[in-house]
Chain A
Amino acid sequence: MIDIYICEDNQKELSLFTQYIKDLVSIENIDMEINLSSSDPHEILQAAGLSQNVGLFFLDIDLKSDINGLALAQRIRKLQPRCFIIFITSHSEMGFLTFEYKVEALDFILKDNASRIKSKIHECLLNVNDKYTSINNNIHKTFVINQSGQQISIDYDDIVYFETSYNIHKIILHTSRRTIEFTGQLKDLEQQLDHHFYRCHRSFIINKNNIAEIDYPEQTVYMNTGETVPISKRMKKGLKKIMG
């Protein structure tokens, strides 16, 4: 069950969006319910803090309150790390990239015309439903990167390998679709990771679950993304052992 929250300072728009969502939920027959629609961000925060269910939040940016929609979203994210946030706004200086970067917003609906808003809300509801069901099927362990206040979570299963950067203070994490740099040393990282990971080279830690093939004579690991990682002579034996 997903709880839906709507925060919008304009009463007319608030009731309009609430009506849209109500209709769409009953048409699509998805497991969601409107928990609260309000023009007061503090009410939303209170309700979000009390609820046990995962939330789906539709927020306006300009709330005519002491906090704006973005700050509200940041607080909600702290209360419910796995919630879904969607902005409905006419604010033009901030857009999806900003929302995605700051609060991992799922989407951004521009208040331009009524029929487009409705179809976009529809799209979002279905998208959230898909994501929610796939997350619920398997609970993943995540690796958290801390970058001066901002946290990025990556599923352990998605990590293909870690590599030292040209810059000795940085490590690069590779997933099949994403490459992220962060500060650290492989030595410390090695301790932090579980047994799925193996340091096969001075500059590389690989995820055993994402190996496609190992060529021992050539001292090369082929990852299932098509990338190759070298094995050092010293680590070859250990790799053979753990790969059984």
Chain B
Amino acid sequence: MAIEILSNLVSMLLYIVPILYFLPFKLRHFQKAILFLLIFFNILLIKYLSGNIGAILLLFTVCTYISLIHSERLLSICTVVGSYLFCVVLDNLLSVLMQALGISIDWIKQNQLIYLTVFLILQNVLCPPIAYALKRFLKKVKLNFSPKLMIMILTNLFSCLMIFLFNIVIGEYIGYTTKILAFNCILFSCYFIFSTYLIVNMIQAYMDKAQMELREDSYQKLQLYTTQIEQMYSSLRSFKHDYFNVMLSMSGYIDAEDMPGLKEYFYQEIIPRNQKLSEGTGKFNSFIHIKNPTLKGLLSSKLNYAHELGIKIELEVSEDISDIHMDIIDLSRILGVFLDNAIEGSLETEMPLLQLAVIKETTATAFIISNTFIDKHIPYSSLRKMNISTKGANRGFGLYSAHKILAAYDNTFLDTEMSEDRFTQRLKITTPDRKDIRND
């Protein structure tokens, strides 16, 4: 009796250990306790009442509970199902291994506690490195993880799960021997690992493609910028050409001491030309200070677009901006979102104005984007949540994802300010000092 209780407890541990290891977040003590109870009752059910089919209930209840605790539901469900499959595969592997070593199934059945203990030890050895690898992998792909890919992996997991359960439940019913069952399980797990590998590779390819597209995009923007520069240069050249003519005619007026004529000539010919020159060349001069091509491409194309929409642009970059301690693609995405919002926001006003400043400090770089806007009195804290925007339902994905990206960085600080007619985003990216690096 005591042995039976003990073996029930151990087999419960068998289920819970991989779940605890593999979950992407830590459970608190009372949550662990609830999970224990949940699994314990399910195990009792499986053992004395429902048989192997009870595994479905077990998985269902645990998945429901875990997805209630944490907001990343898909990932949690994946983890639970994956952990269960891991247990099943390991169980079969172990029994096959033991049989290969000459230990009979009858012995295993009689000394279940020993078997389970060996199983538990094996799990505790295998889980930490797998969990570590899993976490690293997730961290790497998390930002680019689209729900679509997540669902793909989940479907794969579930189909695998169904085959496993089918194999075990129906197999028992038909009368497969444990050996055949184990063999099937191993075969299916091989298939599962292979298909997961394929999916992961597909994700990788997908990510690479996205990167390529981004690079392509920034390259095109840079080309646009180059054409702008060329235009500026040609307008400067035509000015140089005009300049001599202007001087000549002015000296003519001066020699003749024709003051009224000079005055008229100056105000009607020179001043307008001067304004035209400063409009054509002055606007995006300061981009010369931005040394990163991706950033230069993005900012110049967005501001150019805004300019074409009739928004007044003011650009302030007074020092060279080169090393920024943030992934340039992440930064481009965030600034892209901010600039898009600024363009949309300013277009609602009568005198649309968009200001952009990039400021270099000794230990930080700051990006400031400010635009005119019409205050709708929505607190910013709700704007950055998903699906909430000033533009109506199902829109505000941009700010939400920008905040999600920023959350991965310890050295970025966002300061958002709304005044009566002005919306300002200040993003400060600090240079991590040596102490910080060591702490990481």
B263-292 contacts to A (CB < 8 Å): 282, 285-286, 289
The reply to whether A178 and B417 form a contact with Cβ atoms under 8 Å apart is yes
Question: A152: which B residues are within 8 A, CB to CB?
Answer: 415
- The answer to whether the Cβ of A227 comes within 8 Å of any Cβ in the partner chain is yes
The reply to whether A92 and B368 form a contact with Cβ atoms under 8 Å apart is no
How far is A147 from B413 in the complex, measured between Cα atoms in Å? 8
The reply to whether A148 and B368 form a contact with Cβ atoms under 8 Å apart is no
Question: B362: which A residues are within 8 A, CB to CB?
Answer: 149
The reply to whether B316 and A97 form a contact with Cβ atoms under 8 Å apart is yes
Closest partner residue, chain B, to A147 (CB atom): B413
Question: A136: which B residues are within 8 A, CB to CB?
Answer: none
The reply to whether B381 and A179 form a contact with Cβ atoms under 8 Å apart is yes
Closest partner residue, chain A, to B363 (CB atom): A148
The reply to whether A179 and B415 form a contact with Cβ atoms under 8 Å apart is yes
The reply to whether B408 and A167 form a contact with Cβ atoms under 8 Å apart is yes
Q: Number of B interface residues, CB 8 Å?
A: 45
The reply to whether B418 and A101 form a contact with Cβ atoms under 8 Å apart is no
User: Contacts A179-B380, A227-B379 hold; do A167 and B366 have CB atoms under 8 A apart?
Assistant: no
How far is A225 from B409 in the complex, measured between Cα atoms in Å? 29
How far is A178 from B403 in the complex, measured between Cα atoms in Å? 16
The reply to whether A101 and B368 form a contact with Cβ atoms under 8 Å apart is yes
The reply to whether A94 and B318 form a contact with Cβ atoms under 8 Å apart is yes
The reply to whether A93 and B364 form a contact with Cβ atoms under 8 Å apart is no
A211-230 contacts to B (CB < 8 Å): 225-227
The reply to whether B286 and A93 form a contact with Cβ atoms under 8 Å apart is yes
User: Contacts A148-B364, A181-B413 hold; do A166 and B357 have CB atoms under 8 A apart?
Assistant: no
The reply to whether B379 and A225 form a contact with Cβ atoms under 8 Å apart is yes
- The answer to whether the Cβ of B426 comes within 8 Å of any Cβ in the partner chain is yes
The reply to whether B382 and A181 form a contact with Cβ atoms under 8 Å apart is no
The reply to whether B314 and A179 form a contact with Cβ atoms under 8 Å apart is no
- The answer to whether the Cβ of A102 comes within 8 Å of any Cβ in the partner chain is yes
Closest partner residue, chain A, to B377 (CB atom): A226
Question: A137: which B residues are within 8 A, CB to CB?
Answer: none
The reply to whether B316 and A167 form a contact with Cβ atoms under 8 Å apart is no
Cβ contact of A167, chosen from B359, B380, B409, B415, cutoff 8 A: B409
Cβ contact of A180, chosen from B286, B377, B415, cutoff 8 A: B415
The reply to whether B361 and A227 form a contact with Cβ atoms under 8 Å apart is no
The reply to whether A97 and B379 form a contact with Cβ atoms under 8 Å apart is no
The reply to whether B407 and A95 form a contact with Cβ atoms under 8 Å apart is no
Cβ contact of A227, chosen from B381, B416, B419, cutoff 8 A: B381
- B-contact 0/1 string along A81-97, CB 8 Å cutoff: 00000000000111111
The reply to whether B413 and A102 form a contact with Cβ atoms under 8 Å apart is no
How far is A40 from B125 in the complex, measured between Cα atoms in Å? 74
- A-contact 0/1 string along B396-415, CB 8 Å cutoff: 00000001101111101111
Closest partner residue, chain A, to B355 (CB atom): A97
A64-78 contacts to B (CB < 8 Å): none
- B-contact 0/1 string along A163-200, CB 8 Å cutoff: 10111011010101111111100000000000000000
How far is A24 from B78 in the complex, measured between Cα atoms in Å? 72
In the assembled complex, the CB of A69 is this many whole angstroms from the nearest CB of chain B, namely 12
Closest partner residue, chain B, to A163 (CB atom): B381
- The answer to whether the Cβ of A150 comes within 8 Å of any Cβ in the partner chain is yes
How far is A92 from B317 in the complex, measured between Cα atoms in Å? 9
Question: A163: which B residues are within 8 A, CB to CB?
Answer: 381
B307-362 contacts to A (CB < 8 Å): 314-318, 355-357, 359, 361-362
The reply to whether B381 and A174 form a contact with Cβ atoms under 8 Å apart is yes
Question: A101: which B residues are within 8 A, CB to CB?
Answer: 357, 359, 366, 368, 426
Question: A176: which B residues are within 8 A, CB to CB?
Answer: 379
- The answer to whether the Cβ of A53 comes within 8 Å of any Cβ in the partner chain is no
Closest partner residue, chain A, to B378 (CB atom): A226
- The answer to whether the Cβ of B389 comes within 8 Å of any Cβ in the partner chain is no
How far is A95 from B358 in the complex, measured between Cα atoms in Å? 11
Q: Which of B286, B363, B381 has the most CB of A within 10 A?
A: B381
- The answer to whether the Cβ of B370 comes within 8 Å of any Cβ in the partner chain is yes
Cβ contact of B382, chosen from A93, A166, A227, cutoff 8 A: A227
B406-436 contacts to A (CB < 8 Å): 406-410, 412-419, 424, 426, 428, 430-431
Question: A166: which B residues are within 8 A, CB to CB?
Answer: 403-404, 407
Which A-B residue pairs are the 4 nearest by beta carbons? A166-B407, A97-B357, A93-B318, A95-B316
Q: List 5 A-B contacts (CB under 8 A).
A: A97-B357, A98-B318, A150-B361, A150-B364, A179-B380
Binding site for A on B (CB under 8 A): 282, 285-286, 289, 314-318, 355-357, 359, 361-364, 366, 368, 370, 377, 379-382, 403-404, 406-410, 412-419, 424, 426, 428, 430-431
Known: A97-B314, A147-B430. 10 other contacts (CB 8 A): A95-B314, A95-B316, A96-B355, A148-B363, A149-B362, A170-B413, A172-B381, A181-B412, A181-B415, A227-B379
